[in-house]
């Protein structure tokens, strides 16, 4: 009998424009994982509304993100790529999981504390419930691996705790998931402050390179990137700016740090920055062209999304009904 493939689940929220950090740290890995595992990748629109969103913009960004996933190589014939709100089981399972989540543990989550501080005028129940909904996402599909950035590790650990708690209380139901954290050097730092990660919500637009940036913008941002005064392309902890640029070059040219140092021996920062910019633009330009082509045919995208939502729902509802049975909901004789 063919061995059953391991299940992988991940999602990104349709808030803000994606950066090359999201590409290297998330989407590019998905493209690799879909070859080997049964993957479910979602656009987490239910999560997005935990902070205030402009409805028209949320709608536009959701579709743009779907097209971007596809343009980056996420292949709907290899995985299930869908919009979270198209599958009602997410919100339904989250409700049940709420009843086994303690207010104390939810309010201790780092992201909840951070976002409560940043959005002090809108500390809503959804914000606190965010990780419970995320646990529902993961547990519905029986995922054993969840590729995320280090910032999401605590949430995946809560999903583990909830899975174990439910299984202990009601009998074996959920697969207990593990976070799959990329290598530390896959973390792309801000171009303006290399001690911070590059983030789509950075207030300084020069700090992040967006996947939607055109070639000139990419080149300009790299030209202005913060470095040091040594003018030697060398990877070292005391040189976080240039080390970050080396990391980016390696990620986009599939080269090792040693190869990159060798290639740029004796080359000054100005020329190196231009080469990093060119390497990034060479990858981004075809992605942008492809994304625009996909967005020009909305009926085709809708058809694909309907089909994949149905596929996702088939798996999800099986888990949901099992849960309903276990907790004692009457479903007829």
H or E stretch at 47? helix 45-48
The CA distance from 206 to 217, in Å, is 9
Q: Residue 19 binds which entry of ligand ATP, ligand LTN, none, with Cβ cut-offs from 5 to 8 Å by kind?
A: ligand ATP
Residue 131 touches ligand ATP, criterion: CB under 6 A: no
- Under rule CB under 6 A, which residues in 18-77 are in contact with ligand ATP? 19, 21-22, 24-26
Can you tell me the distance from the alpha carbon of 6 to that of 145, in angstroms, rounded to the nearest whole number? 8
Q: Considering the rule CB under 6 A, would residue 177 count as an interface residue with ligand ATP?
A: no
- The closest of 116, 93, 96, 112 to 104, measured between CA atoms, is 112
Q: Give the DSSP per-residue string, 194-263.
A: TTSB--TT-S-GGG--BTT--HHHHHHHHHT----SS------TT-HHHHHHHHHHHHHHT--HHHHHHH
Query: Is 13 a binder of ligand ATP (CB under 6 A)?
Result: yes
Closer to ligand LTN by CB, 131 or 194: give it.
131
For residues 136 to 155, the per-residue mask of contacts with ligand ATP, x marking binding by CB under 6 A and - elsewhere, is ------------xx-xx---
Residue 153 annotated in active site: no
Q: What is the DSSP letter of 210?
A: B
Other Cβ atoms within 10 Å of 210 Cβ, number: 20
Q: Which of residues 99-138 bind ligand LTN (CB under 6 A)?
A: 134, 137-138
Beta-bridged to residue 80, according to DSSP, are 40
9-17, 66-74, 114-122, 210-218 -> range binding ligand LTN (CB under 6 A): 9-17
6, 200, 255, 326: the active-site residue: 200
Catalytically annotated residues: 115, 197, 200
Residues near ligand LTN (CB under 6 A) are 9-13, 44, 47, 134, 137-138, 146, 148, 152
């Amino acid at each position: 009998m063919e061995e059953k493939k391991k299940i992988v689940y991940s999602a990104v929220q349709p808030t803000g424009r994606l950066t090359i950090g999201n590409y290297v740290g998330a989407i590019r890995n998905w493209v690799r994982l879909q070859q080997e595992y049964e993957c479910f990748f979602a656009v987490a629109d239910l999560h997005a509304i935990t902070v205030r969103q402009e409805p028209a913009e949320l709608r536009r960004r959701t579709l743009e993100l779907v097209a971007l996933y596809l343009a980056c190589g996420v292949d709907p014939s290899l995985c299930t790529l869908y919009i979270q709100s198209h599958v009602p089981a997410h919100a339904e399972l989250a409700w049940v999981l709420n009843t086994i989540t303690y207010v104390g543990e939810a309010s201790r989550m780092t992201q909840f504390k951070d976002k409560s501080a940043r959005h002090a005028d809108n500390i809503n129940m959804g914000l606190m419930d965010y990780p419970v909904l995320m646990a529902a996402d993961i547990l519905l599909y029986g995922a054993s691996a969840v590729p995320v950035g280090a910032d999401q590790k605590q949430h995946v650990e809560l999903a583990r705790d909830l899975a174990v708690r439910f299984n202990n209380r009601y009998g074996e139901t959920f697969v207990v998931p593990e976070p799959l954290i990329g290598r530390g050097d896959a973390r792309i730092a801000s171009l303006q402050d290399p001690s911070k990660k590059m983030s789509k919500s950075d207030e300084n637009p020069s700090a992040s390179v967006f996947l939607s940036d055109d070639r000139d913008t990419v080149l300009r941002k790299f030209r202005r990137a913060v470095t040091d005064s040594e003018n030697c392309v060398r990877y070292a902890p005391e040189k976080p700016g240039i080390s970050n640029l080396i990391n980016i070059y390696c990620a986009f040219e599939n080269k090792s740090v040693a190869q990159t140092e060798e290639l740029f021996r004796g080359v000054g920062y100005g020329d190196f920055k231009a080469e990093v910019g060119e390497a990034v633009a060479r990858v981004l330009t075809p992605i942008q062209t492809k994304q625009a082509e996909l967005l020009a045919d909305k009926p085709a995208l809708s058809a694909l999304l309907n089909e994949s939502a149905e596929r996702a729902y088939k798996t999800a509802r099986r888990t949901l009904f099992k849960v309903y049975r276990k907790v004692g909901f009457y479903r007829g004789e």
